């Protein structure tokens, strides 16, 4: 029995697909999400083998969602869309498959067959997903999306991963490793810190052993020796 | 008998000279297309009475009577101006003859009056028949005169006493008078007619020229007023008017110049002439006649041009450019070209206005087509079908109701008046659309409609509301993670009707990718169809609110608005 999560901002579409999956009997729908943010949490919690995801969704679309999933959690992704042109792009992203809405049982059968075959051969899904553009953060009103290019540095602490921006600090559920991999010009400078090269203002030595960066908005970011050479190279100094 | 014929011919020749001078004078204005008016009739009355009285004075005394050319006046007056004029001239002239006395005095005054009447009746008959042209033909005049003179002789024989004297007189004067006066009348009429034909021909020629220009420029101007069209237009005008040079300008630049001085009057250069700037500023014709007000070329001392006519091209109330006709300094600017130039500018302006109107109409049709296309957006149809399909599994009745809504929506798209609809009709259309969208987005979408009931009969361009609501959903609520609300508000404030469509997504982008088409069409349509309507305004507070507002001043509301 394979486990699947369905993500679509339209309840009807979601229910339609879930009904089709339930009728098959070989797939358990373990999560049903209306947007990418919910989906990220659900995927972390239930670790499904298959992800059915709508491409057009509010704020964070299907492609961005895939970019935000940690590689070790990556399920087989099936894009679902009403727009053929999106479907073609989905294929470029080398998704396992794509489905056109409204989903037809026969077409779904073929897709499931493909996935079964892929996983049976011991395949580990890896996708050429795009850079992350906006990072979902937790805030009092719900979810705030911070533009990735506005993030000056990222700090991982006991309370979680914080984005440091000119507008303040924001807590995100994405990991440091993922942000390092998926946000352009975001570079590791410390076990617990990333810095955005575009926002580095001053680089200096506090004492013979420690180097520190200051970002445009004045955040102090420590640099460990291990990352110093790489950082200098990226900065061109 | 011949002793009398020659003096009579002399008199008649003198009359012909008078006729020639008369028709050169401004008093003479006979046109083929116009019947003489009261003023003209008075002038004819005076002229022919003088001719007739003159005919009596210049007569030759014969046997106690006068051999004369008096009858030419009344007969011609009658032929040209009808029985009243002819009889009037004849009566006055007859009374004048009566005052001279003599044994034929009574007979002559009666006959002169009757001759005028005869001329008038013939003229009237011919004017009313299909033989209008004959009324003024020399042959008619000659024959009528012949008949009238024979009548006169008979009257003399009948009225004058003693009869023996009368008979002797008629034997002497009869044939010379009949011959001389008939020929005289025919020649007199021939002079008048030739002169009229010259006037008519001159008019014909300038009319024909204007028509020819109109014909040659019509296709050209259908393409609008541009740098490509202007040189061809200028060439046509110069060929047809044969003036020294022709220029066409828009408001800032010379678009085309052909003719004398074209080596220094270059197209594309800014307007230098004061006269042209004045014509553009005032919208009035500026004429530099070359005598009192010479035209001085500001570009080149040696410019051969000496006079200019600058006619503004008016489309609506806007001057969009000028047409300039130039004549060289050594040549007079013909007044016919001046009239022609002004007429031409009118003609071109109306052709341009027509082209402009055509543009507007095409734009509108295009907008409508695109709009209709947007309505039957296949994505909307697919999404709706997908929604209904999934609802069908759970709730067949609801699915059936939604199919009805979908059918309603498309039917309304087809059947609506393409121009204006009441707000109520617009709301019905939006509601059919919203039913489907609500089913699609479920609790993600709520709608608040708040419309002043007094405005339900208010008319606005058809398909105004639905695209705005569609935008609010597509680019607003559908882009929200949380449930969203679309608000439709219509209210009166001040002397304007306000229609707001808002969503709480606050994700409006100035140029949304492709899909903003719907809104720009709505904007163009409200501006086109409602005068003084400033179009749509968008107010966006990021992540909080997008409000698209349409403010229609009540004065701008189309007829029939509540």
Q: What is the layout of strands, in order, in the sheet containing B536-541? A: B445-451, B484-493, B496-503, B545-553, B536-541
Return the pLDDT at A90: 61
Percent of the residues in chain B that have a pLDDT greater than 70, as a whole number = 86
Which CATH superfamily includes the segment(s) A2-120? Response regulator (3.40.50.2300)
Q: Are A193 and A152 in contact (CB under 8 A)?
A: no
Longest CA pairwise span in chain B (Å): 132
Nearest CA distance, B283 vs chain A (angstrom): 56
Task: pLDDT band for B289, please (50, 70, 90 cuts).
Answer: confident
Phi, psi values for residue A159, rounded to 5° = -85, -5
Ordered by start, the domain boundaries in chain A are: 2-120, 134-235
Nearest CA distance, A190 vs chain B (angstrom): 34
Q: Which of B134, B18, B1, B132 is nearest to B72 (CA)?
A: B18
Task: pLDDT band for B359, please (50, 70, 90 cuts).
Answer: low
Q: What is the layout of strands, in order, in the sheet containing A97-100? A: A27-33, A2-7, A50-54, A76-81, A97-100
Q: Which of B538, B358, B556 is nearest to B459 (CA)?
A: B556
Nearest-angstrom CA–CA distance, A94 and A99 = 13
| Tokens found for residue B317 | 């109330």
pLDDT at B302 over 90: no
Q: Are B480 and A58 in contact (CB under 8 A)?
A: yes
A134-235 maps to CATH 3.30.1010.10: no
Tell the residue number behind the tokens 């942000």, with chain if given. Answer: A179
Q: Are A77 and A128 in contact (CB under 8 A)?
A: no
3-state SS track over A192-223: CEEEEHHHEEEEEEEECCEEEEEECCCCEEEE
Nearest CA distance, A103 vs chain B (angstrom): 9
Contact check, Cβ <8 Å, B481/A37 = yes
Contact check, Cβ <8 Å, A82/B382 = yes
Q: A121 vs B241, which has greater pLDDT?
A: A121
Nearest-angstrom CA–CA distance, B264 and B266 = 6
| Tokens found for residue B312 | 């503004």
Contacts of A58 in chain B (CB under 8 A): 478-481
Q: Are A14 and A34 in contact (CB under 8 A)?
A: yes
Q: Is B196 exposed, middle or buried (0-12, 13-18, 19+ CB in 10 A)?
A: middle
Letter string b/e over residues B201-211, b meaning 16 or more CB atoms within 10 A of that residue's CB = eeeeebeebbe
From A9, A34, A101, residue closest to B386, measured CB to CB: A101
Q: Which of A132, A143, A20 is nearest to A78 (CA)?
A: A20
Contacts of A59 in chain B (CB under 8 A): 479-481
Return the pLDDT at B27: 64
> pLDDT tens digit string along B446-504?
999 999 999 999 998 888 898 899 889 988 998 888 899 999 999 999 889 999 999 99
Between strands A2-7 and A50-54, the pairing is: parallel
From A13, A15, A58, residue closest to B479, measured CB to CB: A58
Nearest-angstrom CA–CA distance, B453 and B445 = 24
Q: Which of A128, A129, A4 is nearest to A65 (CA)?
A: A129
The DSSP element (H or E) to which A156 belongs, if any, is strand A151-157
Q: Are B470 and B483 in contact (CB under 8 A)?
A: no
Residue A76 CA: distances (Å) to CA of A3, B175, B338, B550: 11, 129, 85, 48
Q: Which of B55, B52, B44 is nearest to B80 (CA)?
A: B44
Q: Are B503 and B449 in contact (CB under 8 A)?
A: no
Say which range, A40-49, A94-103, B63-72, B196-205, has the weakest mean pLDDT.
B196-205
How many A-B residue pairs are in contact by the CB < 8 A criterion?
Answer: 53
Contacts of B480 in chain A (CB under 8 A): 58-59
Please say whether the dihedral angle defined by the alpha carbons of residues B280, B285, B286 and B287, taken in this order, is positive or negative.
Answer: positive
Q: Is B512 exposed, middle or buried (0-12, 13-18, 19+ CB in 10 A)?
A: middle
Interface test with A, best of B390, B442, B544 (most A CBs within 10 A): B390
Nearest CA distance, B479 vs chain A (angstrom): 4
DSSP B320-380: EEEEEEEEETTS---HHHHHHHHHHHHHHHHHHHHHHHHHHHHHHHHHHHHHHHHHT-HHH
Task: Note if the bond before B215 is cis, omega within 30 degrees.
Answer: no
Please say whether the dihedral angle defined by the alpha carbons of residues B429, B431, B434 and B435, taken in this order, is positive or negative.
Answer: negative
Contact check, Cβ <8 Å, B389/A83 = no
Question: Cα angle vertex B88, ends B84, B92, to 5°?
Answer: 175
| Tokens found for residue A136 | 């979902």
Any bridge partners for residue B309, and if so which? Answer: B287, B325
From B385, B442, B478, residue closest to A11, measured CB to CB: B442
DSSP state of B456: T
Contact check, Cβ <8 Å, A9/B382 = no
Contact check, Cβ <8 Å, B478/A58 = yes
Phi, psi values for residue B324, rounded to 5° = -120, 130
Return the pLDDT at B562: 42
Return the pLDDT at B321: 85
Q: B371 vs B447, which has greater pLDDT?
A: B447
Q: Please give chain A's pLDDT, 237 residues, in tens.
A: 899 999 998 888 888 899 899 999 899 999 999 999 999 999 999 999 999 999 889 889 998 999 999 999 999 999 998 777 766 666 666 666 888 887 889 999 999 999 999 888 888 888 877 899 999 999 887 888 999 999 999 999 999 999 999 999 999 999 999 999 999 999 999 999 999 999 999 888 877 778 899 999 999 999 998 898 888 888 887
Other CB atoms within a 10 A radius of the CB of residue B7 amount to: 17
Nearest-angstrom CA–CA distance, B234 and B341 = 12
pLDDT at B131 over 70: no
Nearest-angstrom CA–CA distance, A115 and A156 = 36
**3-class state of residue A155 by DSSP:** strand
Please say whether the dihedral angle defined by the alpha carbons of residues B19, B23, B28 and B32, taken in this order, is positive or negative.
Answer: positive
Nearest-angstrom CA–CA distance, A149 and A135 = 10
Tell the residue number behind the tokens 């949380």, with chain if given. Answer: B482
| Tokens found for residue B472 | 């609010």
CA-atom Rg of chain A in angstroms? 20
Domains of chain B: 2-202 (1.10.1760.20), 229-351 (3.30.450.40), 376-556 (3.30.565.10)
Tell the residue number behind the tokens 């969208």, with chain if given. Answer: B437
Contacts of B386 in chain A (CB under 8 A): 12-13, 16, 82, 101-102
B133 sits in the region (left: phi over 0; alpha: psi -120 to 50; else beta) called alpha
Return the pLDDT at B559: 46
| Tokens found for residue B354 | 């027509």
pLDDT at B405 over 60: yes
Between strands A193-196 and A186-190, the pairing is: antiparallel
Between strands B245-249 and A50-54, the pairing is: unpaired
Nearest-angstrom CA–CA distance, A110 and B108 = 125
Contacts of A37 in chain B (CB under 8 A): 481
Nearest CA distance, B414 vs chain A (angstrom): 25
Between strands B420-422 and A50-54, the pairing is: unpaired
Mean pLDDT of chain B: 82
From B389, B439, B442, residue closest to A16, measured CB to CB: B389
CA-atom Rg of chain B in angstroms? 41
Over residues B412-438, the mean pLDDT reads: 86
Return the pLDDT at B547: 95
The DSSP element (H or E) to which A60 belongs, if any, is none
Cα A206 to its chain centre, rounded Å, is 36
Interface of A with B (CB under 8 A): 9-13, 15-16, 19, 34-35, 37, 58-59, 82-83, 101-102, 142-143
Q: Are B303 and B297 in contact (CB under 8 A)?
A: yes
Interface of B with A (CB under 8 A): 379, 382-383, 385-387, 389-391, 393-394, 439-444, 478-482
Nearest residue on chain A to B399, alpha-carbon basis = A12
Nearest residue on chain A to B473, alpha-carbon basis = A58
Phi, psi values for residue B257, rounded to 5° = -150, 125
Name, of A111-115, B221-225, B330-334, the range with top average pLDDT: A111-115
């Amino acid at each position: 029995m394979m486990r699947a999560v369905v993500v679509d901002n339209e309840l009807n579409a979601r229910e339609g697909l879930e009904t089709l999956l339930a009728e098959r009997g070989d797939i358990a729908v373990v999560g049903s999400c209306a947007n990418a943010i919910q989906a990220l949490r659900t995927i972390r919690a239930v670790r499904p083998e298959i992800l059915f995801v709508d491409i057009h969704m509010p704020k964070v679309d299907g492609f961005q969602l895939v970019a935000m999933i940690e590689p070790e959690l990556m399920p087989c992704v099936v894009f679902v869309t009403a727009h053929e042109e999106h479907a073609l792009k989905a294929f470029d992203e080398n998704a396992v498959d794509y489905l056109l809405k409204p989903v037809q049982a026969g077409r779904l059968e073929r897709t499931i067959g493909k996935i079964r075959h892929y996983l049976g051969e011991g395949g580990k899904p890896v996708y050429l997903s795009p850079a992350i553009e906006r990072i979902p953060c937790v805030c009092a009103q719900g979810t705030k999306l911070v533009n990735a290019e506005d993030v000056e540095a990222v700090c991982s602490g006991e309370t979680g991963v914080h984005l440091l921006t000119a507008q303040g600090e924001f807590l995100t559920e994405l990991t440091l490793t993922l942000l390092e991999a998926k946000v352009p010009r975001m570079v590791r400078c410390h076990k617990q810190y990333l810095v955005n090269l575009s926002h580095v203002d001053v680089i200096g030595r506090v004492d013979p052993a420690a180097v520190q960066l200051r970002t445009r908005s004045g955040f102090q970011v420590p640099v460990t020796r291990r990352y110093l050479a790489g950082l200098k190279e990226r900065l061109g100094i | 008998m011949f002793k009398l014929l020659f003096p009579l011919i002399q008199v008649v020749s003198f009359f012909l000279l008078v006729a020639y001078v008369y028709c050169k004078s401004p008093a003479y204005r006979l046109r083929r297309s116009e019947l003489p008016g009261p003023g003209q009739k008075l002038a004819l009355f005076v002229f022919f009475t003088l001719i007739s009285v003159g005919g009596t004075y210049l007569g030759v005394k014969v046997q106690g009577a006068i051999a004369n050319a008096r009858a030419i006046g009344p007969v011609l007056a009658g032929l040209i101006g009808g029985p009243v004029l002819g009889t009037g001239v004849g009566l006055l002239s007859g009374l004048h003859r009566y005052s001279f006395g003599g044994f034929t005095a009574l007979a002559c005054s009666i006959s002169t009056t009757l001759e005028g009447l005869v001329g008038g009746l013939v003229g009237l008959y011919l004017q009313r028949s299909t033989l209008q042209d004959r009324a003024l033909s020399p042959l008619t005049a000659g024959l009528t005169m012949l008949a009238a003179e024979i009548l006169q002789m008979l009257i003399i024989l009948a009225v004058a006493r003693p009869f023996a004297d009368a008979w002797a007189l008629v034997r002497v004067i009869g044939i010379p008078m009949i011959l001389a006066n008939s020929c005289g009348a025919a020649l007199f009429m021939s002079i008048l007619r030739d002169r009229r034909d010259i006037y008519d021909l001159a008019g014909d020629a300038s009319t024909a020229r204007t028509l020819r220009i109109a014909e040659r420029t019509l296709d050209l101007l259908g393409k609008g007023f541009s740098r490509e069209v202007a040189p061809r237009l200028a060439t046509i005008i110069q060929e047809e008017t044969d003036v020294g040079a022709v220029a066409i300008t828009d408001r800032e630049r010379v678009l085309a110049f052909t003719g004398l001085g074209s080596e220094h009057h270059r197209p594309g250069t800014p307007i230098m002439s004061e006269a042209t700037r004045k014509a553009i500023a005032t919208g009035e014709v500026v004429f530099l006649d070359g005598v009192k007000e010479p035209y001085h070329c500001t570009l080149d001392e040696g410019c051969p041009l000496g006079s200019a006519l600058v006619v503004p091209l008016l489309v609506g109330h806007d001057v969009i450019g000028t047409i300039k006709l130039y004549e060289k300094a050594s040549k007079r600017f013909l007044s016919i070209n001046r009239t022609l130039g002004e007429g031409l500018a009118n003609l071109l302006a109306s052709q341009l206005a027509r082209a402009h109107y055509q543009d507007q109409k095409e734009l509108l049709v295009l907008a409508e087509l695109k709009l209709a296309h947007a309505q039957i957006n296949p994505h909307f149809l697919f999404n709706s079908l997908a929604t209904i399909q999934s609802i069908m599994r759970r709730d067949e009745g609801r699915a059936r109701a939604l199919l009805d809504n979908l059918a309603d929506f498309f039917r309304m798209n087809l059947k609506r008046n393409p121009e204006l609809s009441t707000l109520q009709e617009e709301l019905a259309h939006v509601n059919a659309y919203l039913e489907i969208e609500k089913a699609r987005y479920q609790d993600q979408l709520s709608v608040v409609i708040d419309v002043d009931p007094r405005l339900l009969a208010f008319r606005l361009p058809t398909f105004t509301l639905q695209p705005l609501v569609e935008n609010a959903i597509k680019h607003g609520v559908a882009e929200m993670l949380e449930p969203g609300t679309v608000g439709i508000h219509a209210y009166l404030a001040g002397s304007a009707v306000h229609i707001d469509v808002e969503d709480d997504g606050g994700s409006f982008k100035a140029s949304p990718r492709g899909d903003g088409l719907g809104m720009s069409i709505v904007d163009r349509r409200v501006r086109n169809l409602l005068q003084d309507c400033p179009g749509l305004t968008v107010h966006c507070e990021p992540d909080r609110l997008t409000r698209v507002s349409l403010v229609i001043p009540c004065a701008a509301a189309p007829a029939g608005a509540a």
